[in-house]
Amino acid sequence: MTKPRTRALCTDPQWLGRADCKHCGIRHMMMFSGLKDSDFGHILEPIDNFRYAEKAMLYSQGAQDDKVYSIRSGLVKLIQTEPDGTIRIVRLLGPGALIGIEALLNKAYRHTVIALQELDVCRIRTVTLKQLEADKPWLNEKVMAHWEQNLTFADRWISELSSGTMRSRVLKLLDFLMELQCDESSNVRFFGYEDMAMMIGASRETFSRIIGDLKDEGLLSKTEDSQVYRLSSLNE
Amino acid sequence: MTKPRTRALCTDPQWLGRADCKHCGIRHMMMFSGLKDSDFGHILEPIDNFRYAEKAMLYSQGAQDDKVYSIRSGLVKLIQTEPDGTIRIVRLLGPGALIGIEALLNKAYRHTVIALQELDVCRIRTVTLKQLEADKPWLNEKVMAHWEQNLTFADRWISELSSGTMRSRVLKLLDFLMELQCDESSNVRFFGYEDMAMMIGASRETFSRIIGDLKDEGLLSKTEDSQVYRLSSLNE
DNA sequence: CGTCCGCTTGAATAGTGTCAAGGTGGGTGG
DNA sequence: CCACCCACCTTGACACTATTCAAGCGGACG
């Protein structure tokens, strides 16, 4: 669709230690909350906790690896490159999401995944996950729920962010971002316009113009933080 | 996106009997090939085989049911309706596909599913499937593979059929249909233009014009069957 | 203070949607 | 067997939407 302009950084992630699932602050949404200390006793390899910088790449499309990631905080974009070179962002995932699940089926990663913000993830090897699953049937159900979550997002991406006029897509995108960033009030944190445009399949210029219109109409207003805007429409 | 024009038929499917998985002609791709006679002995409810007429509806978005379908032959469209009334076809599935998997998680169906051709499906209740899974771990793996298949299709739908110019989308759509219908040679069976247009997010007129252009350029030519065209380009 | 990067804006142009009219083919009933 | 009908596809004219190329602007940062 558009040519790549911003290149991903290949900074190494920072290792934060082994995961402490039992005391995870966001247990309710995470994959491995529910695991007891004793469960960690007999697993082959540990679950590790990493921090990635903004724009760092977790893995790239086509790579074959055996690692699955669970997001604790931050946001990532999933990018798909076609054989003919066109690029499109196909998904945005945040806290609670499980990425790279295709590795469980021994498939190569189908996307390039890049952090949009500072990112805190737990990483687990597929063998370890399968080993845990064998003991705990509920883990299996959780994995399925994550497939379903991914699929639901993909379908919304098609019907909300890839259909209709560019204006309606921008509005839906802003809603979508608010939902992901769930910053209490109706505030949206912006990324680069190039990324946002790529999410809805528009050019940077078109996106910029529409944002400009929304500002003029008073639907979008600045906040203290220059990256964050307040959105005042739920309608249209 | 577009207003519905062709309404779905609510004809009842024809019951063809209980499924005979062991002798299924397309065992290799089907969900339940691999089951032995003895496996059928102790399941709660049978797996049934049905035939649906073209345009018949299997189930509709929002409905809550406990049935999963495995396609033996034919093609279905998965339609998603937004709260604001816009409609978009988000997926096309053929032989081997498993539809309504969200029922396994006790979720309501997320799409309305309609047969595009005469359809032959096997229907199984979720309890039965779960019961079988408990015995046979390999079934579990198969279910995962179907989640992955759905997700792969969804992602292709985004990057191939929802990005770029309408012309490129039409070409990709034709490729896609050839792949699904795998009619040996490079022949494509057309559906109604309204449906095809809805797949790529175009108007009927735009779609018609592009098909017209392709005919003029000689890339697309008629065959004996007026519904089937021969496509002569793999490139661009 | 100047540079760089990313956002904004303008003008020209190509691409799509919309409305409306006209064509075509397959099926039905006389 | 023919005439008619209906559903569906085609075509034209026009308005509108979005892309492209190009120039300008503004803030962050060395």
Distance of alpha carbon B79 from alpha carbon A172, whole angstroms: 19
Distance A3 CA to C6 C1' (A): 16
- The residue with greater pLDDT, A101 or B6, is A101
Distance of alpha carbon B184 from alpha carbon A150, whole angstroms: 33
Nearest CA in chain B to A109: B152
- The residue with greater pLDDT, A81 or A8, is A81
Residue type, B187: N
- Residue A235's pLDDT is 52
Question: Does the CB of A167 sit below 7 A from strand D?
Answer: yes
- The residue with greater pLDDT, A81 or A226, is A81
Q: Is the CB of residue B159 less than 8 Å away from at least one CB of chain A? A: yes
Report the phi/psi class of residue B34: left, alpha or beta, with left for phi > 0 and alpha for psi in -120 to 50. Answer: left
Q: Is the CB of residue B169 less than 8 Å away from at least one CB of chain A? A: no
- Residue B91's pLDDT is 97
Q: What is the CATH number of domain B6-160?
A: 2.60.120.10
Q: Is the CB of residue B62 less than 8 Å away from at least one CB of chain A? A: no
Alpha helices, DSSP H, located in B10-136: 37-41, 126-135
Name every chain A residue with its beta carbon within 8 A of the beta carbon of B167: none
Query: Within chain B, which residues score under 70 in pLDDT?
Result: 1-11, 17, 19-30, 35, 37, 39-42, 44, 233-236
- Residue A166's pLDDT is 97
Look up residue A207 and give its two tokens: 């996106």
Please give the torsion angle defined by the CA atoms of residues A75, B61, A148 and A142, in that order, rounded to the nearest 10 degrees: 120
Mean pLDDT of A175-182: 90
Distance of alpha carbon A201 from alpha carbon A191, whole angstroms: 15
Contact A51, A41 (CB under 8 A): no
- Residue A4's pLDDT is 43
Q: Which nucleotide is nearest to A203 (CA to C1')?
A: D19
The CA-to-CA distance between both ends of chain A, in Å, stands at 27
- Residue A1's pLDDT is 45
CATH class of B165-231: mainly alpha
Which neighbouring-strand residues pair with A36?
A: none
Among candidates B202, B171, B181, which has minimal Cα distance to B89?
A: B202
Contact A112, A8 (CB under 8 A): yes
Mean pLDDT of A77-102: 93
Give domain limits for chain A. 6-160, 165-231
- Residue A234's pLDDT is 57
Contact A165, A236 (CB under 8 A): no
What is the distance in angstroms between the Cα of A229 and the nearest Cα belonging to chain B?
A: 25
Q: Is the CB of residue A15 less than 8 Å away from at least one CB of chain B? A: no
Distance of alpha carbon B19 from alpha carbon B40, whole angstroms: 10
Please give the torsion angle defined by the CA atoms of residues B53, B59, B65 and B71, in that order, rounded to the nearest 10 degrees: 50
Distance of alpha carbon B56 from alpha carbon B36, whole angstroms: 32
Look up residue A200 and give its two tokens: 């809805």
- Residue A226's pLDDT is 83
